[in-house]
Structure 1
Amino acid sequence: MTEHARLNPAVTITRQWWHSSTVYQIYPRSFADSNGDGIGDIPGIISKLDYLEKLGIDLIWLSPIYASPMDDNGYDISNYQDIAPEFGTLDDFWELLAKAKERGIGIVLDLVVNHTSDEHDWFLQARKGRNNQFRDFYIWRDPGPDGGPPNDLQSIFGGSAWELDPSSGQYYLHLFSRRQPDLNWENEGVRRAVYDMMNWWLDRGIAGFRMDVIDLIGKQPDKQITADGPHLHDYIQEMHRETLRHRDALTVGETWSVTPDSALLYSGRERHELSMVFQFEHVTQRWDEVFGKWRSKPFDLVALKAVFSKWQQALAEDGWNSLFWGNHDLPRAVSRYGEDGEFRVPSAKTLATVLHMMRGTPYVYQGEEIGMTNASFTSIEQYKDIETLNMHRLHLAAGLSPQDFIAGAHMNSRDNARTPMPWTDAPHGGFTTGTPWIEANGNVGSINAAAAVDDDQSVFHHYRKLITLRKTHDVIVYGRYQSYLDQHPEVFLYTRTLGGDRVTVLANLSKAPVVVELPGEIVTGGEALVWTHQPISSLEQTVSLRPWESFCILTRT
């Protein structure tokens, strides 16, 4: 590849290796269990590297594998430089790093530095007294005038964000679980300790970091500012200078508060912060104004297209998009945006096509590539997620019926993404020889990796094709995005153009046949790149699309 790509006469973008890469996210607890204890582990991941190499991915993003009491499944870290025993050892991780590298696959670690576990040594020391050297590593406040919390700031997991420490009489801040005390980023010692830890991992060969809730580290709780605090970007720029400046690493920030304008603060070429951020506007647009994700709004393709187009245009000439449908916190893509019954396979393929053909770096969440569906849980007792259990209690108290909450959890609980990866049609999908930590999906007999690999028309092989196309066609990586038929309620139509190359993407995102009249400039002929039903190499003015049919055509002039 040449060093630069021309987007338009006024813009030149420097190529980065991760522009044409595809990332695969692994939730280690649920991926592959090597020892029969019901919990996925690092040796299990190593055993599946050939599968991931066959898929064609370039990077593995691991959800946290660090030492942790697992109050929030590893997002409560007690030692940033050790491995949780249920996942393995540091030697296991070094083996994974080496064997992945042999296959051309890099490892991206989850950087969770908004908070630690309450069992981290820093916090254990901080609790010893107000004069302890680690006290200021965390955020402490005296009680309010009534003797209660300092203010009414709420935890994202429900309830007050303040927890009383009886021994000192002060409250500490926790924006998540009470067992996840927030770090005080105003303290230079905290920042230095985090940068030292990051360099420790980077020096050992990891490919980069996904940064958990990075938009929260600049919080000012006395002003009830949690996201986008006034010093947020000062901290991230300092982080870049101290850890990333001379490295060729991938960094992606989880930023629920980000907007198209603020995204450029994180990822603009001259900002020296991050490679890209995750934005969640396409996720939150379906949440209820009162009950949030626990009461979903109906699927609205027009609104979804508007969000994607807005972000494609906003970062067209600077910054970079991350492209994803799901992750460990979100429902299964085919259940949330597609149709997980009769049309599961074509809808999973179509969702993959319309996402992977956009400009940005795609992220595939484990099982997405075989069309995994949401969990089939029917009672609250089957759920394990701390957020789901807390919200069940709070929303029922607020007036939501138990039936409505379970319906909302079935659509949006984080546990939908955390059921075990089904490798075969064996019990528990072959994930473990023991009892899994959370129930396997009831459809592992028909939806499993072995069956998908053996079927050349499967969702798995569709993903392989999309991943390969990104590596071989510059127009898919850098082409200008242009949408059409924006108000059509069933059809998604856009083009990508670079020089004399144009890719046309046409998709029916509904379970009914559709006849669509195309704009004149879309009528084209060329090479069929990828398709759900049959290869199509030309478009007429009028096109008939089957339920969930999609295809892409490459035209060269």
Structure 2
Amino acid sequence: MSRPWWHGAVLYQIYPRSFQDSNGDGIGDLPGITARLPYFVELGVDAIWISPIFPSPMADFGYDVADYCGIDPRFGTLGDFDLLLERAHGLGLKVLLDFVPNHSSDRHPWFVESRSSRDNPKRDWYIWRDPGADGGPPNNWISDFGGPAWEYDEATGQYFSHAFLKEQPDLNWRNPDLRAAMMDVLRFWFERGVDGFRIDVLWHMVKHADFPDNPVNPDFAEGMGEMWRVLQLHSTDQPEVHGIAAEMRAIADSYGDRLLIGEIYLPVEKLMTYYGSVEAPGVHLPFNFQLIGAPWNARALATLIEAYELALPENGWPNWVLGNHDRPRAATRFGEAQARVAAMLNLTLRGTPTIYYGDEIGIADVAIPADKVADPRERREPGKGLGRDPVRTPMAWDESDCGGFTAGEPWLPLHPDWRARNVAAERGDAGSTWTLHRDLIALRRATPALATGEWHPVYADDAVLAYERREGDTRVLVALNLTAEPARLPLPDWARGLTPRLSTLGGLPGFEHGALILMGDEGVILT
């Protein structure tokens, strides 16, 4: 039976403001992405996922959508998007968009109508509640950006719900008309030829119908984000969300081989429920973010990977992510040398991996001067390390001014070593992080055992994580040294005749008395 295209694919996330500016305004745009499409072919990825590009006041940089069926002028036009899609498809690339269904902008015409009066036909398209008994918010829910998840509207005397900024009012998915309108948004883009969606905060979309208080978090400590003062028991992950995901899946499936990815930050056992059931399939890939927060320890990772594999439902396809637009970059979390080992892990585990733009050249988090901070998350709770600007800085393409990203003033500063750490420099360096990514993707594409084969644990100790990938009679061994000291891996009998194919350090590893000798910070693939 043929596999869906994403089973063997490598996805690449683009943060459009920071990828390539074509008009000198300091903000990346769609024509800029179109101009860089050959880059993805060279790197070897199969699909690009573009973070929100819809019309928006940019209170949260596009995650406050004012028109779900348009393009923000900062990024271009619908014509620009259609051209991007046409040229991407011509190069064999798939294109995924972000879908932001939990909330809209407060400037969206739907919300303007909704807040105009209590009897407006769109009043119930958003979540409105009377004040609590004390005249304050209806309950103790806290916004993910800090402060109450409720904003009082003087004109109508009620509060509206907002899981994020007050400029991002929550949509009411219990309203059938709102639900139908949002499903039509998916159809609009599928009709245009989009290959799928990453669904923003999918687990947030439905709230408990009775709006009870959330329980207080007994483990809350000062220094944590204010959102952690309570456990989001009633404001997220409600049973009704699975029916919505099933309807989205049915729409996607009606257009053929289209992909839905759900952003879901939940424990593994809850994450698995978003695959849905045989009768009502959910999203194809509930994003698996475990590598972002996991301890960088071989034994712990071995346990995590095996538990995830065992938890998958029948026909549930795994996926892995090292970083994204909200979390610290791999080079910051692991250091540059271990980030290379992490890249080998991400690109050799069973499942669909996602690469975050810039990780392929080893960009680390960038310190943002106070007068350059743009992220509302950081401005609301400064000093807690919650800001996302450091991982959203411009891509560096070459050593020219502003790294070839823009002819103007970039909206955020580039990483300080951009004159050396850029695509042009690394493309010409056989030992660079970019070359490693290209070679890993090429080996994965040429080796079905790595692309879609089975995963089996082999070994884990205080330093080394090793596993097998197998497709029919083809067996591949991946060995990763997660420390800076040399380490020894006793080889199983079946692996002793394998040949080293790729090392994160270049060159060939050594063998001694039936063992593979790994240098510090080295990952090796044997085929």
TM above 0.5: yes
Matched letter for residue 423 of structure 1 = W
Residue 307 (structure 1) aligns with: 304
Residue 399 (structure 1) aligns with: none
| Other structure's SS at 1:104 match | coil
Q: 1:105 to 1:38 in 2, by over 3 A?
A: same
Residue 339 (structure 1) aligns with: 335
Q: Root-mean-square deviation (CA), in Å?
A: 2.1
| Whole-angstrom CA distance in 2 between matches of 1:332 and 1:522 | 36
1:474 aligns with 2:448: yes
| Other structure's SS at 1:66 match | coil
Q: Tell me the alpha carbon deviations over residues 470-491 of structure 1, each in whole angstroms, 9 at most, x when there is no partner.
A: 32322123322222443x2322
| Other structure's SS at 1:83 match | coil
Q: Tell me the alpha carbon deviations over residues 62-90 of structure 1, each in whole angstroms, 9 at most, x when there is no partner.
A: 00000000011101000011111111111
1:160 aligns with 2:148: yes
Residue 242 (structure 2) aligns with: 233
Residue 212 (structure 1) aligns with: 200
| Other structure's SS at 1:425 match | coil
1:64·1:110 contact (CA, 8 Å) conserved in 2?
Answer: yes
> Runs of 4 or more off by more than 6 Å in structure 1?
none
| Whole-angstrom CA distance in 2 between matches of 1:320 and 1:58 | 17
Residue 431 (structure 2) aligns with: 457
| Whole-angstrom CA distance in 2 between matches of 1:459 and 1:84 | 34
Q: Tell me the alpha carbon deviations over residues 87-145 of structure 1, each in whole angstroms, 9 at most, x when there is no partner.
A: 11111101100111111011100010010000101001101101101110000000011
Q: 1:316 to 1:236 in 2, by over 3 A?
A: closer
Q: How does 1:108-127 map to 2 (within 5 A)?
A: 108-127=96-115
Matched letter for residue 312 of structure 1 = E
Deviation at 1:535, TM superposition (A): 3.4
Q: How does 1:410-489 map to 2 (within 5 A)?
A: 413-486=387-460, 488-489=461-462
When structure 1 is superposed on structure 2, of 267-276 and 49-58 the one drifting more is 267-276
Deviation at 1:381, TM superposition (A): 3.8
Matched letter for residue 339 of structure 1 = G
| Whole-angstrom CA distance in 1 between matches of 2:204 and 2:464 | 37
| Other structure's SS at 1:193 match | helix
1:545 aligns with 2:518: yes
Q: 1:29 to 1:170 in 2, by over 3 A?
A: same
Residue 72 (structure 1) aligns with: 60
Deviation at 1:528, TM superposition (A): 2.8
Q: How does 1:514-529 map to 2 (within 5 A)?
A: 514-518=486-490, 520-521=492-493, 523-529=495-501
Residue 390 (structure 1) aligns with: 380
1:28 aligns with 2:16: yes
1:364 aligns with 2:336: no
Residue 508 (structure 1) aligns with: 481
Deviation at 1:536, TM superposition (A): 4.7
1:524·1:539 contact (CA, 8 Å) conserved in 2?
Answer: no
Q: 1:200 to 1:519 in 2, by over 3 A?
A: same
| Other structure's SS at 2:69 match | strand
TM-score by length of 2: 0.91
| Whole-angstrom CA distance in 2 between matches of 1:306 and 1:382 | 41
| Whole-angstrom CA distance in 2 between matches of 1:199 and 1:190 | 14
2:361·2:426 contact (CA, 8 Å) conserved in 1?
Answer: yes
Matched letter for residue 318 of structure 2 = N
Q: Tell me the alpha carbon deviations over residues 237-282 of structure 1, each in whole angstroms, 9 at most, x when there is no partner.
A: 1222344334210111001125245415425665422111112333
TM-score by length of 1: 0.86
Consecutive unaligned residues of structure 1, counting only runs of 5 or more, are 5-14, 287-298, 393-401
2:272·2:313 contact (CA, 8 Å) conserved in 1?
Answer: no
Matched letter for residue 522 of structure 2 = E
Matched letter for residue 413 of structure 2 = E
Q: 1:353 aligns with which of 326, 344, 349?
A: 344
Q: 1:32 to 1:62 in 2, by over 3 A?
A: same
Deviation at 1:544, TM superposition (A): 2.7
1:278·1:322 contact (CA, 8 Å) conserved in 2?
Answer: yes
Q: How does 1:34-49 map to 2 (within 5 A)?
A: 34-49=22-37
| Aligned residue-pair number | 505
| Whole-angstrom CA distance in 1 between matches of 2:489 and 2:6 | 37
